[in-house]
Structure 1
């Protein structure tokens, strides 16, 4: 078994060589309930595995934040977003821990959001570990919908439900009369050409859904 130091060195070397898919390219939009079947029909025609159909999912997601005080900087506090997702309809699957970084502040003309994203499979005790670490549960929700793939692009069409009661599978209600649509790609750093491919694909879904680059920082300031 390798030592922690060797494992860290290997990870850093992999990052420098752009081997690890640590960047998420993202576009988001929404479609009204009455048009979602039309959108699903179009996605079946555009995406891979037409014969087998899309993959369905029914997940429970918890969104944590970890606040770390900064010393000697103009920013008093750094906030790290961590998400834990588990499947509600597939048993014996690992929980998924996801770190999501801040949206890159580079070229505003980039066609998609670009942010750091790292996914790790973990055990069901991850929520206890995060709580002991000092993380705060900000919110949680149920996501139910379909996932499509077009090459390395992933398209999800999700109905988002509020949590109700003490059990995640009971007492839920939809937060809106629409579905969240996300087009994303996970890739190593520096592959900005992916954004152009995503933009071309997104154009094929108009006018049913308008997939856009969302400014999360601006959205947070408006809330």
Structure 2
């Protein structure tokens, strides 16, 4: 999937700095019901329906000046369209680390912070510029400290208009993640074991976003 999203609802408050352990996959729309049925059976609350979310995410980038060239800084502003009174979420994601081939998951640093609804204008005042935006709709399942999101991504056809959208693909993005303090590599083994239960509906993998970006630039 082209967009490096981390679909979670915008209910986060406070600020945390941790490592995110991540596996990703995708499933065609016609296999969605089978995947949701499987996840309901694995969910902590088997008898309840999964949490649903409908969010708008905007990715802002701060680029360096020609006199002081440094790598661009990217921040994600996200809010829940179905719960407009909830706090906005500001998220920073570090460069993904593939690690050695024996590591079970991709690992990246992450910082989450709940904010007020003037987040976008604040980022612009700080010098950030909107790079791209999208709408995401989906389902959230929980298994212990693991989160599984199944998301449909939509491109925003008219800037800022979250009603004028179009599906990016004929598939859903599937993400299995755990946010935990650094150094808890055993988390990855639990995630890999859980991912085995989702086969053959979806294959969860470590996605090398650097190779993906290089491929996209070459197209």
Range class of TM-score, shorter chain: 0.7 to 0.9
Correspondence for 1:194: 187
Q: What is the aligned counterpart of 2:170 among 177, 191, 198?
A: 177
Tell me the matched-pair count: 201
Q: What is the aligned counterpart of 2:50 among 49, 54, 59?
A: 54
Q: What is the aligned counterpart of 2:88 among 77, 88, 95?
A: 95
In structure 1, how many angstroms separate the alpha carbons of the residues matched to 2:157 and 2:64? 31
Correspondence for 1:128: 121
Instruction: Using the TM superposition, give the Cα deviation of residue 133 of structure 1 relative to its aligned residue in structure 2, in angstroms.
Output: 1.2
Most deviating of 145-154 and 169-178: 169-178
Alpha carbons of structure 1 residues 51 and 168: separation in structure 2 relative to 1, 3 Å: farther
Where does the alignment leave 5 or more consecutive residues of structure 2 unmatched? 1-15
TM-score by length of 2: 0.86
Q: What is the aligned counterpart of 1:153 among 142, 146, 150?
A: 146
In structure 1, how many angstroms separate the alpha carbons of the residues matched to 2:100 and 2:180? 18
- Does residue 164 (structure 1) correspond to residue 157 (structure 2)? The answer is yes
- Over aligned residues, Cα RMSD in angstroms? 1.8
In structure 2, how many angstroms separate the alpha carbons of the residues matched to 1:71 and 1:49? 55
Alpha carbons of structure 1 residues 34 and 189: separation in structure 2 relative to 1, 3 Å: same
Contact 1:81/1:101 (<8 A) preserved: no
Structure whose CA Rg is larger: 1
Where does the alignment leave 5 or more consecutive residues of structure 1 unmatched? 1-19
